[in-house]
């Protein structure tokens, strides 16, 4: 229908795939927001990252992450299969290129949950689609500290390091397109849904 | 809360006012979509335009338009009170500057329903806020013709002229940010709501 009105060479982004990248400090609640968003929007497909960090009890290999050994990760890096990879607290995280490209080829939009540096790397990776960068934050610094503590898996040392890293990460917010505050899960999910819907209607030159 | 995380000089657009401009060919259904959107979003305020065209039976002076005489319109133009004005089918339409500026000063977002040329003029007018341009189209050309006919107030001559103007107007779609297809009112309103919500979360330098 859009074809009736748009000149040759122009379209709306929703006619092809879009990569939505969600990043933010540890404790922002990325995983909860993302899984609820995926449940509501069937055109969005999750890009599963590879990581060398240990699996948490509630995580599933191939759904939350591909949990790989150091050697397997080295292999992914050297064969050029990662779109980007970063190190975070001694563990490596990477985005397999095929996770993104295969989904775009199926006409899906792709949702990525990555570290802040990874998000910026993906924006520069020359993907054949628009890349939308969303930064998720908790409502305040106090709340961020409380959430990491509540997770209960952290030593004081690790907590301090996470907070230092978070301070560094938020300095990159101006390089992102959208800032979503995760005060209540429902609000954050609705805002992310709106961002996805709006970007699909955005006019672009192909 | 956003202040906790953003560096000095940066913000999200929703912290201050935004001007949302909806334009599109006659028959796209702008008025219905806009009145439903205003009903749902109390932070959005409608900017009432001035026009020299006759009032339709269902319209109200000061709500839909300020219906003014040729002399009154001349006066608005010469005193510089119009942000932009355009002529359309022998009638003049203009946006009083105070309609926009007063609402921004009250911390409201402003919604404008203007002609296509007017929308582009508003984007260039140097308003002290972000200007978001949305182009609304009916689902097809056939539907556009049917809708104008159904209005029943048009001679064949006027109908032909409207269609010629519409052909010219859609050539400007690439100068807009978003394209919304008004296939069903509910869908179009939801997409506009999403655009408004997303733009409020957009990161900007002040």
A178 vs B197: CB contact, 8 Å cut-off? Answer: no
- Phi/psi region, residue B107 (left: phi>0; alpha: psi -120 to 50; beta: rest), is left
CA angle B125–B100–B127, rounded 5-degree value = 30
Q: Average pLDDT, stretch B138-154?
A: 83
User: pLDDT value at position A194?
Assistant: 98
B181 vs A10: CB contact, 8 Å cut-off? Answer: no
User: pLDDT value at position B157?
Assistant: 86
| B204, B13 Cβ separation under 8 angstroms | yes
User: pLDDT value at position B130?
Assistant: 95
Query: Which positions in chain B touch A197 (Cβ < 8 Å)?
Result: 190-191, 194-195, 198
Decide which of 3.50.50.60, 3.40.50.10470, 2.40.50.100, 3.40.50.300 is the CATH code for A2-47+107-205.
3.40.50.300
User: pLDDT value at position B160?
Assistant: 87
Q: Average pLDDT, stretch B179-183?
A: 96
For A122-181, how does the pLDDT look when each residue is reduced to its tens digit (9 = 90+)?
Answer: 999 989 899 999 999 999 989 988 887 887 666 888 888 888 989 999 999 999 999 999
User: pLDDT value at position B19?
Assistant: 97
The answer, for A191 touching chain B at a CB cutoff of 8 Å, is yes
CA of A68 to nearest chain B CA: how many angstroms apart? 33
CA angle A144–A150–A154, rounded 5-degree value = 90
| A117, A86 Cβ separation under 8 angstroms | yes
User: pLDDT value at position B199?
Assistant: 98
Determine if the pTM surpasses 0.80: yes
Helices (H), chain B: 30-40, 70-78, 97-105, 116-123, 141-151, 156-170, 185-200
In sequence order, the β-bridge partners of residue A195 are: none
For B103-143, how does the pLDDT look when each residue is reduced to its tens digit (9 = 90+)?
Answer: 998 889 999 999 899 999 999 998 989 999 999 999 998 99
User: pLDDT value at position A154?
Assistant: 67
| B180, B191 Cβ separation under 8 angstroms | yes
Query: Among A174-178, B67-71, B149-153, B192-196, whose mean pLDDT is lowest?
Result: B149-153
H or E segment to which residue A148 belongs: helix A141-151
Nearest Cα residue to A44 out of A168, A121, A132:
A132
Of A1, A140, A203, the CB nearest to B1: A140
User: pLDDT value at position B4?
Assistant: 85
Residue A81 binned pLDDT confidence (cut-offs 50, 70, 90): very high
Residue A108 binned pLDDT confidence (cut-offs 50, 70, 90): very high
User: In CATH, which superfamily holds the domain spanning B2-47+108-205?
Assistant: P-loop containing nucleotide triphosphate hydrolases (3.40.50.300)
Measured CA to CA, the distance from residue B204 to residue B194 in angstroms comes to 18
Measured CA to CA, the distance from residue A49 to residue A35 in angstroms comes to 15
Is pLDDT above 80 for B154? no
Query: What does the mean pLDDT of chain B come to?
Result: 92
A179 vs B6: CB contact, 8 Å cut-off? Answer: yes
User: pLDDT value at position B145?
Assistant: 86
The answer, for A15 touching chain B at a CB cutoff of 8 Å, is no
For B44-82, how does the pLDDT look when each residue is reduced to its tens digit (9 = 90+)?
Answer: 999 999 999 999 999 999 998 999 999 999 999 999 999
Name the residue in chain B with its Cα closest to that of A171: B7
Is pLDDT above 90 for A68? yes
Query: Which positions in chain A touch B1 (Cβ < 8 Å)?
Result: 139-140, 181, 183
Q: Average pLDDT, stretch B7-17?
A: 92
Nearest Cα residue to A49 out of A102, A94, A116, A115:
A94
B180 vs A173: CB contact, 8 Å cut-off? Answer: no
Measured CA to CA, the distance from residue A123 to residue A178 in angstroms comes to 14
For A8-58, how does the pLDDT look when each residue is reduced to its tens digit (9 = 90+)?
Answer: 899 999 999 999 999 999 889 999 999 999 999 999 999 999 999 999 999
Name the residue in chain A with its Cα closest to that of B200: A178
For A137-153, how does the pLDDT look when each residue is reduced to its tens digit (9 = 90+)?
Answer: 999 989 988 887 887 66
**Complex ipTM above 0.90?**
yes
How far is it between the farthest Cα atoms of chain B? 61
Of A170, A178, A191, the CB nearest to B5: A170
Is pLDDT above 80 for B22? yes
A173 vs B197: CB contact, 8 Å cut-off? Answer: no
Locate the domains of chain B by residue range.
Answer: 2-47+108-205
Q: Average pLDDT, stretch A85-106?
A: 91
User: pLDDT value at position A181?
Assistant: 96
The answer, for B177 touching chain A at a CB cutoff of 8 Å, is yes
User: pLDDT value at position A107?
Assistant: 87
User: pLDDT value at position A14?
Assistant: 93
Measured CA to CA, the distance from residue A6 to residue A20 in angstroms comes to 25
Is pLDDT above 80 for B39? yes
Query: Which positions in chain A touch B173 (Cβ < 8 Å)?
Result: 5-7, 10, 203
Query: Which positions in chain A touch B135 (Cβ < 8 Å)?
Result: 203
User: pLDDT value at position B52?
Assistant: 97
The answer, for B171 touching chain A at a CB cutoff of 8 Å, is yes
- Phi/psi region, residue B81 (left: phi>0; alpha: psi -120 to 50; beta: rest), is alpha
Measured CA to CA, the distance from residue A63 to residue A148 in angstroms comes to 23
User: pLDDT value at position A39?
Assistant: 96
User: pLDDT value at position A162?
Assistant: 84
CB atoms within 10 A of CB A146: 12
CA of A79 to nearest chain B CA: how many angstroms apart? 36
Q: Average pLDDT, stretch B164-170?
A: 92
The answer, for A45 touching chain B at a CB cutoff of 8 Å, is no
The answer, for A206 touching chain B at a CB cutoff of 8 Å, is no
């Amino acid at each position: 229908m859009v074809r009736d009105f748009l000149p040759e060479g122009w379209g709306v982004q929703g006619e092809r795939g879009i990569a939505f990248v969600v990043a933010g400090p540890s404790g922002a609640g990325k995983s909860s927001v993302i899984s609820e968003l995926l449940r509501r929007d069937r055109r969005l497909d999750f890009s599963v990252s590879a990581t060398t960090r240990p699996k948490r009890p509630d995580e599933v290999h191939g759904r939350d992450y591909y949990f790989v050994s150091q050697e397997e990760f080295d292999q992914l890096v050297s064969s050029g299969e990662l779109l980007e990879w970063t190190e975070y607290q001694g563990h490596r995280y990477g985005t397999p290129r095929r996770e993104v490209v295969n989904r775009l080829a199926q006409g899906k939009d792709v949702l990525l949950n990555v570290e802040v540096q990874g998000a910026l790397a993906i924006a520069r990776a020359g993907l054949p689609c628009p890349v939308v960068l969303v930064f998720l934050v908790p409502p305040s610094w106090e709340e961020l500290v409380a959430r990491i503590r509540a997770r209960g898996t952290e030593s004081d040392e690790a907590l301090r390091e996470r907070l230092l890293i978070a301070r560094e990460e938020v300095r990159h917010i101006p390089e992102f397109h959208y800032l979503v505050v995760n005060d209540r899960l429902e609000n954050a999910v609705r805002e992310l849904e709106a961002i996805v819907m709006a970007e699909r209607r955005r006019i672009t030159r192909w």
